Amino acid sequence: MSKELNIWLDNLLSDIESVQFQRRNSRRVRVDVGSEALPALLELLQGRASYVHLSAITCVDWIEDGQFELVYHVWSYETRSLVSVHTRIPRDPGVYLSIYDLYQPAAFFERDIHEMYGLYFEGSPDMEKFILTEWNGPPPMRKDFDGEAFVNEHFHWEQYHPQWLKDLEEEGGGITVRPEDVR
Amino acid sequence: MSNELENIPIRQELEVLQSGQKRTNPLANVFDGLVKFCRSRSMFMLHYCTGCGAIELPPAMTSRFDMERLGIQPMVTPRQADILLITGYVSIKTLKRIILTYEQMGSPKYVIGICSCTVNGGMYWQSYATAKVLRDYLPVDVYIAGCMPRPEAVISGLRELMEDISSGRAESWKKYYQHYDYYLGNQQKLFGEDWQTPTDIIAEARHYDLMTEHTLGEHTALLEKHQKPLEALEMRLSVKDKQKV
Amino acid sequence: MPDIPYKDKGSILGPLKTLGFFARRPVTEPFEPRPAADSYRGFHVNDWEKCIGCSTCQKVCDNAAITMVKIPGLPEDPVLGVRNERPAIDYGRCCWCGLCVDICPTGSISLTTEYVHVCRENELDSYFVLPDPNGIHGKHFDKGWDKTADADLVDLHQQPMGEVEPQQRDDNFDEIVHGFTSQQAIIEASRCVQCGMCHESCPTHMNAPEYIRAIWEGNAEEAVRQIYRSNPFSHVCGRVCTRRCETACSIGRRGDPVAIRWLKRYAMDAVSDERIREIAAEGKVDYISGKKIAIIGAGPAGLTAAYDLVKKGHDVTVFEALDKPGGMTRYGIPEYRLPYDRLDADVEVITSLGVTIQYNTRIGRDIGMDVLERDYDAVVVAIGLQQGRSTRIPGSDHKQVRKAVKLLRKITQGKPFKVPRTAVVIGGGNVAMDIARSLARLQKQQYGEVRMTVAALEDFDHFLADPEEVTEAREEGVVILDSRGPKQCLVDENGKLIGLATLGVVSIFDQDGRFAPRYDDSDEQVHQADMVIESIGQMTDVSLFGDELTERLEWNRGRLRVDENGRTSEPWLWSAGDMVFGPDVVHAVADGHRVAAGIEEYLGVKQ
Amino acid sequence: MRPENYQAKNHPPSHEFELNFGPNHPGIEGNYAFKVKLNGDTVLSARADGGYLHRGFEKLMEGRLWIQNIALVPRICVPDPVPMEVCYSLAIEELGGLEVPERAQWIRVMQLEMSRLAAHLFAFGGHAATTGMYTTMFWGVADRDLILDRFEELTGGRVYSIYNIPGGVRREVPDGFLERMSSLLDYLESRLPDYDNLFFRNQVFIKRARDVGAMTQEQALKWGVTGPNLRATGLAFDVRRDDPYLVYDQLDFEIPTEPGGDALSRNLVRRSELKQSIRILRQVIERLPSIRGPIRCPIPNPLAWNVPAGESYTRVESSKGELAYYVVSTGGDKPYRVHVRGPSSMHAVQVLENLAVGSRLEDVAQIMFSLDACPPEVDR
């Protein structure tokens, strides 16, 4: 049964314009779609093709392209296959449409992406901070936020000076390469 | 910065206190010893899982390794707890709660730092979200190495603490009052200048007669400056009326 | 299907069944920590005998927990690839993942079954530990997570290097080694752990970790740039280098070292000659200093010095007695190991920067040293070792007893000579292999069969020639005998050379380590030959200096005395290369750099 | 004390109030918090507050080598770390086109099921504790510890095994391990009736947990519920069977379901899964000796490993539900992006907020434990 459905889905997807479609294997399909067509495609997948489970929404920051890539992973319990719908939106201003009315779990993922990437979803029920409620810096998952620089600025490290090290330093030895230097 | 702290001399009289001040009444000495013994054998551990090391506490508490043999048992409120176990990394958000909790615990109180993360950042040394060196923010009595330490190691650490308590060496809680300015300074650096807690540590330090020249300083002055009517540390969330979908 | 029909009312007394547990043995463990499992990941120990301080553990540590600490008193030897550094571990960072154990090239570091460490706040320094064989508390605990073949993350095997089959190569001088494909090069480059031992052991301190990294990243041009930072003879070194780097390579401790030489060759071959010239010219100053420098000898040392000096804006002229550049790399190394067009490419890079080479100009004959002294600000003598040493055994003055270097030069120049039907080479170094294999090829071409014997003083365990050379020579039909000392060249009554008599070697060095071979007179063999080739070392022909200058210069055991910059006792005269250090291309290159730096400094002062 | 600071606020009399619940609260699993609005003791609405365990894993992983992250990933979910390692390794294997040897796949299945057993024992132990039945917790934790002993023997670590690496597993199974594992399974199986008597068929528990935090199958699908919680609403879905990975398609096991959708059903599903995990482990123990071969395919030097560019989405069934990794490589030596889709991120936020509405305050803890939400995995 699932094979027939797969063929049906392949035909369906190849017919739609502005959709690039790539079947990885019998359970994985990658679809690239323009940002304007994505909600309609998801609606189609959910309503017509039984992809009712939103597994995840992933955001990837392609800073060199000035774009955010959003990946919607939807799963069908019937055909037992997973469609990953990829779309790209400009990094600035970073606003996109929520799919909460199609998939309720989207609320969490969109909220997460909002606080980690600063990407705003219009129509999402809840854009309040969740994890980073006490964080005042920029959205940390953006590639232009340098976590290590932040750490070096705000924290210091334990300065060990055990006896054996003092002895070695007296003999002319001592620390040569600190771990932070090799990274 | 932690080196800074080591350079500050501990007040002379306190050293006398720590080394067991001679009391005139011989019964008092016996009584002091008894108190120390009892303290070391009835440690209530605050039930707060701050990090991943907490996963080894249930085995340590339950039948297999059975901490209750040592008189250690979990306690749910800070007011009645003696030991605060920092089980691993502390995110900045948790650190605030830890400090609140610590300040609410009644003296004498003991802090145990478990895992690598409490010492020098551990696995998460690159992370923007975790505090790295715990002893900048709180005085620590005993550290237990491991990532995470096995229940046996945890119990060894607790036994070490018991020994310290009965011999009168575990005095870190006094350090907090004596060097409050230092700890507060580090806390302010991390949480912002307007950081304050509901507990008035300076008044408590006066109460315990633990004021030193390091209790007050520029950071406590900053605290006074920013003082505002007390409110509980707020969860910055709004509760909406939501209908069951 | 539900296992428990929970709608059934279980007995209200069901939980009471657990009262039976009163009679059971308690599960509680005693207070004393239990012994951990056999492969437990506890605190570290490190075998200091095995550890070489390569700091690979530091690189793989994801928590930045490992600090390298220098320990005076431990052996340190760049040639062997040993540093006196050992890893120290910060248990405030460590997560006991054991990656340091799995990647350790030597297998020195391992984890034990010890897992309890408790300390107070003022003892926190005890979290910073220098693991030694005794463990963190000096108590014995069994080893836990240790290196096993399964867990080893180091790839111990080199990428196989393709070679022409013996049958196809034994009658011609085509290059034998194919070189890596780009795929192979990337895999081979990825074996490197970037410890930098090669950099330290290399005479000219090539930036091998950097160019290997660049090759791994697929950026051959960057690799060439890194190579040219320290070696303008990279086509040559990529083929015939003595590769001290591979001896020192930390991966070579337990397996094959990274094929650094072949990687260099790959990078040089992967970039076009024009592009290499552009890369080499980077960093050349855009002014003319007005200083004139003469260099005698267009070998690696002289040309390297010329390369450095011309990049500094000096006017450099190289005088070469023969008609082609390269010195010993051309006339000493057979073409099957180093094709002449690759050597020409290297030299072209240098000449394209503005170095003039005057060929067929023998100093001392065509131009006198006094002229150079007068006309140039500085003079470098880099004439190498062009004369073969003689064994001086009886009969060695026969005309069919030849010197290997001369014969090799003849073969390169294409001068005709009678190829012997049967020949014996005295010596066991790479030059001996070169001449034996070259002659073997000529024999095969002319007579269809190889009748070559090599009689070496050393035994196979201490052989001087590279093992690959020996293997390949054997594949080509050369017979190699070890522990044979030459006794006498045999000449028949007609004055014709008929062979060489050798004796078995008892020992080569005396008790003081001096060269004094002792032979077993009872073990004599006679090798039939119509030519005997002596290949036991080379020396310099210093006649070019002339009597007066030779008198003025200071000498040390027949070699020129030079200071640490390569300057002789004459302030304007420098000396570099094989004539100072003995035969080795990469040493010559290093020496060229050193002399160039010395001259640069001298010219600055002079100004 | 600063008495001048305390000012009584005048509020209009009301039965409605807001209550901070956690993070330092014994009824909370881990370090997690709620803000609940109550009328009397009935929850009007609840709001989850996470981030107390936030470490920024996804950011950290972008800054570390591919292989270094294997030490990092198990920390994402502390009670059930093995699926994290396996899922991450599977993602890299898919990207790098690595063929995992069959023996390694079987060893991985063995670990996954051991981890599931341990996590389930821990989960219903915790649930029992919230309803006051501490003996069950003591038993559950002590029996889990026996599994940890086997983990220690196999992998060298009790909780964080760090045993799976891209390409296979790190060590060969020790001698005699399978026999010891087998006797452990016998023991665990003999313990199941004890657990039934004490807990699952205990009328106190049944009465306490029935209809608490109930959801229908439609709701569960709508809210994105997965794992045992979804199976407790009657839908037999399991990634192991329906999107098979490793050698699960060669194994014979059932997918237990329960119709109720409440806290009781969720625990009963876990109880039945214990039996299925034991069944799978027995099959592995039987098959593993006959499967010979390497335990890891050759991988490049980890310090210089450029995983080919591409992206992969791999899913495994953890004890909490559907766990997925989305890994993007740009062909460098570090991941460009790793997204961890933890099952608890659904359960502990949206589902819990929804289920808490209308329940009583004392049941909130029970609901949370019955969903087996794992806060470190929500916070990452």
Is D340 a member of any domain?
A: yes
Domain-ending residue, one of C229, C249, C279: C279
Q: Read off the CATH number of the domain in which D361 is found.
A: 1.10.645.10
Which residues, other chains included, contact C493 with Cβ-Cβ below 8 Å and sequence gap of 6+? Answer: none
pLDDT digits (tens, 9 = 90+) for C214-231: 888 888 888 888 888 888
pLDDT tens track for C111-143? 888 888 888 888 888 888 888 888 888 888 888
Q: What is the mean pLDDT of chain B?
A: 78
Contact assignment for D160 to B240 by CB distance below 8 Å: no
The whole-number pLDDT of residue D378 equals: 85
Cα distance between residue B1 and residue B182, in whole Å = 9
Q: B237–A140: do the CB atoms touch at under 8 Å?
A: no
d(CA D355, CA D370): 11
* pLDDT tens figures, D74-94: 888 888 889 999 999 999 998
Query: Are C275 and C291 in a shared domain?
Result: no
Residues C399 and C488 in one domain: yes
Give the 3-state secondary structure of residue D229: helix
**Banded model confidence at residue D14, pLDDT cuts 50, 70, 90:** low
Q: In the complex, which subunits touch B with 3 or more CB pairs below 8 angstroms?
A: A, C, D
Task: Answer whether C467 touches A (CB < 8 Å).
Answer: no
- Decide if B125 touches C, using CB distance below 8 A: yes
Is there a domain that residue D114 lies in?
A: yes
Mark whether C394 and C430 lie in a shared domain.
yes
Give the residue from A151, D74, C92 showing the smallest Cα distance to B113: C92
SS3 C132: coil
Residue of C nearest to A158 (CA): C92
In chain D, what residues touch B127 (CB-CB under 8 Å)? 55-56, 59-60
**Where residue C193 sits, what CATH number does that domain have?**
1.10.1060.10
Ranges under pLDDT 50 in chain A? 1
Q: Does residue B18 carry a pLDDT above 50?
A: no
CB B52 within 8 A of CB D376: yes
Domains belonging to chain A, first-starting first, are 2-139 (3.30.460.80)
Q: Domain count of chain D?
A: 1
Please check whether residue D337 lies inside any domain of the structure. Answer: yes
pLDDT digits over C240-287, tens only? 888 888 888 888 888 888 888 888 888 888 888 888 888 888 888 888
Task: Report pLDDT for D1.
Answer: 37
Residues from chain A contacting residue D315 (CB–CB below 8 Å): 55, 82
pLDDT of residue B1: 40
Which residue of B116, B132, B173 is the best one to mutate when testing the C interface, meaning the one whose CB has the most C CBs within 10 A? B116
Please report which confidence band the pLDDT of residue B243 belongs to, taking 50, 70 and 90 as the band edges: very low
Same domain, C120 and C216: no
**Cis before residue D23, ω within 30 degrees of 0?**
yes
Contact yes or no for B126 and A158 at CB 8 A: no
CA count, 13 A, side-chain hemisphere, A139: 19
Q: Is the pLDDT of residue C5 over 60?
A: no
Interface of D with A in 183-212 (CB under 8 A): none
| Helix, strand, coil % in chain D, rounded to nearest 5 | 50, 15, 35
- Is the pLDDT at D5 greater than 60? The verdict is no
For D203-220, what is each residue's pLDDT tens digit? 788 888 888 888 888 888
Closest CA to C328 of C542, C587, C593, C584: C584
Distance from CA of A178 to the nearest CA of C (A): 5
For B153, the closest of C115, C120, C124 (CB atoms) is C115
Q: Is the pLDDT of residue B21 over 60?
A: no
Last residue of a domain, one of C129, C155, C176: C129
In a domain, C149, yes or no: no
| C16 is a domain residue | no
Residue C127 near chain B (CB below 8 Å): yes
**Which pLDDT belongs to residue D6?**
47
Cβ pair C176, C231 in contact under 8 A: no
Separation of alpha carbons C69 and C85, rounded Å: 5
Instruction: For residues A16 and A9, give the distance between their C-alpha atoms in angstroms, rounded to a whole number.
Output: 11
Q: Model confidence over C384-416: pLDDT tens digits?
A: 787 778 778 887 788 888 888 888 888 888 888
Burial class (CB in 10 A: 0-12, 13-18, 19+), D47: buried
Structural domain range at position C96: 44-129
**Does the beta carbon of A155 lie under 8 angstroms from any beta carbon of chain D?**
no
Strand partners of residue A120: A95
Contact A128, A141 (CB under 8 A): no
Of C140, C133, C141, C145, nearest to C100 by C-alpha is C145
Quick: pLDDT tens for D318-368: 888 888 999 999 888 889 989 998 888 888 888 888 888 888 888 888 888
Q: Are residues C482 and C381 in the same domain?
A: no
> How many other C-beta atoms lie within 10 A of the C-beta of residue C208?
29
Number of A/D CB contacts below 8 angstroms equals 83
Question: Are D1 and B200 within 8 A, CB to CB?
Answer: yes
Q: Cβ contact (<8 Å) for C119 and B142?
A: yes
Residues of C in contact with B6 (CB under 8 A): 122
Total domains in the fold of chain C: 4
Q: For chain A, give the secondary structure using H, E and C.
A: CHHHHHHHHHHHHHHCCCEEEEEEECCEEEEEECCCCHHHHHHHHHHHHCCCEEEEEEEEEECCCCEEEEEEEEEECCCCEEEEEEEEEECCCCEEECCCCCCCCHHHHHHHHHHHHCCEEECCCCCCCCCCCCCCCCCCCCCCCCHHHHHHHHCCCCCCCCHHHHHHHHHCCEEEECHHHHC
Chain A CB within 8 Å of residue D243 CB = yes
Say if C512 falls within a structural domain. Answer: yes
A155 with B235: Cβ contact below 8 A: no
Q: Quick one: C377 and C406 in the same domain? A: no
For residues C476 and C426, state if they share a domain.
Answer: yes
Residue B11 has pLDDT above 50, yes or no: no
Q: Which of B72, B133, B147 to mutate to test the interface with C (most CBs of C within 10 A)?
A: B147
Distance from CA of B23 to the nearest CA of D (A): 31
pLDDT score of D183:
92
- What percentage of chain C reaches a pLDDT higher than 70? 97
Q: Does some domain include residue D11? A: no
pLDDT tens-digit map of C589-598: 888 888 888 8
Residues of chain B with Cβ-Cβ distance to A150 below 8 Å are 128
Q: Which of A55, A108, A148 lies at the smallest CB-CB distance from D350? A: A108
Residue C529 has pLDDT above 60, yes or no: yes
What ipTM did this prediction achieve? 0.81
What is the rounded average pLDDT for all residues in chain D? 85
Q: Average pLDDT, stretch C152-156?
A: 82
What does R_g of chain D's alpha carbons equal in angstroms?
Answer: 22
In a domain, C14, yes or no: no
Q: Is D2 inside a domain boundary?
A: no
What is the DSSP code (8-state) at residue C143? B
Instruction: List CB contacts (< 8 A) between C12 and chain D.
Output: 203
Task: Please report whether residue C150 resides in a domain.
Answer: no
Residue C380 shares a structural domain with residue C408 = no
CA distance linking residue C299 with residue D185, whole number of Å: 76
Q: What percent of chain B stands above pLDDT 70?
A: 83
* Nearest by CB: A176 against C59, C70, C92: C70
User: pLDDT tens digits, residue range C597-607?
Assistant: 888 888 776 65
Q: What's the rounded Cα separation, in Å, for the pair C413 and C410?
A: 5
> Which of the residues B1, B2, B128, B188 would you substitute to probe the A interface, choosing the one with the greatest number of A C-beta atoms within 10 Å?
B128
Nearest residue to A30 (alpha-carbon basis) of D238, D328, D338, D245: D328
**Domain-embedded: residue C566:** yes
- Do C410 and C360 share a domain, yes or no? no
> Is C528 in the same domain as C421?
yes
Token couple for D144: 């889990």
Give pLDDT tens digits for C20-47.
778 888 888 888 888 888 888 888 888 8
- Residue C1 is nearest to which of D135, D194, D256, comparing CB atoms? D256
C208-216 helix and C220-228 helix, angle to the nearest 10 degrees: 170
Mark yes or no for CB contact B123/C124 under 8 Å: no
Across the interface, whether the CB atoms of C148 and D258 are under 8 A apart is answered no
Inter-chain contacts counted by CB atoms under 8 A, chains B and D = 130
Q: Which residues of C touch D202 (CB under 8 A)?
A: 10, 14-15
Closest by CA position to B188, among listed B208, B214, B217, B209:
B217
Let me know whether C397 and C520 are in one domain.
yes
Q: Which of B50, B55, B128 sits opposite D79 (nearest CB)?
A: B55
* Segments forming the whole domain that contains residue D212: 16-379
B220-234, C522-536, D58-72, D133-147 — which is least confidently predicted? B220-234
Any domain includes C524: yes
Same domain for C321 and C394? Answer: no
Residue D10 maps to a domain: no
More confident residue, D134 or D328: D328
How many residues are listed for chain A in this entry?
183
Nearest C-alpha in D relative to C8: D201
Q: What value does the mean pLDDT take over residues B91-95?
A: 87
Q: What is the pLDDT of residue A46?
A: 82
- Residue that terminates a domain, selected from C240, C259, C279: C279
- Determine, yes or no, domain membership for C12: no
Radius of gyration of chain A (CA): 24
CATH code of the domain covering residue C91: 3.30.70.3270
No. of helices (H) and no. of strands (E), chain C:
21, 23
% of chain D beyond a pLDDT of 90: 5
Instruction: Say if C122 is an interface residue toward chain B (CB within 8 Å).
Output: yes
> In the prediction, which pLDDT does B234 show?
56
Mean pLDDT of all residues in chain A?
A: 82
Q: What is the mean pLDDT of chain C?
A: 83
- Per the listing, tokens 């031992």 go with C197
Gap between the Cα atoms of D118 and D160, Å rounded: 13
Hey, which residues does A72 pair with through a beta bridge?
A57, A85
Q: Is the pLDDT of residue B3 over 80?
A: no
Domains plus CATH for chain B?
30-169 (3.40.50.12280), 171-226 (no CATH)
Would residue D1 count as lying in a domain?
no
CA dist A18 and C123 (Å) reads 66
Q: Is A177 on the interface with C (CB under 8 A)?
A: yes
3-state secondary structure of C157: coil
**What pairing do the DSSP bridges indicate for beta strands C452-455 and C423-426?**
parallel
Is pTM beyond 0.90 here?
no
- Tell whether C138 lies on the interface with A, counting CB pairs under 8 A: no
| The pLDDT of residue B143 is above 70 | yes
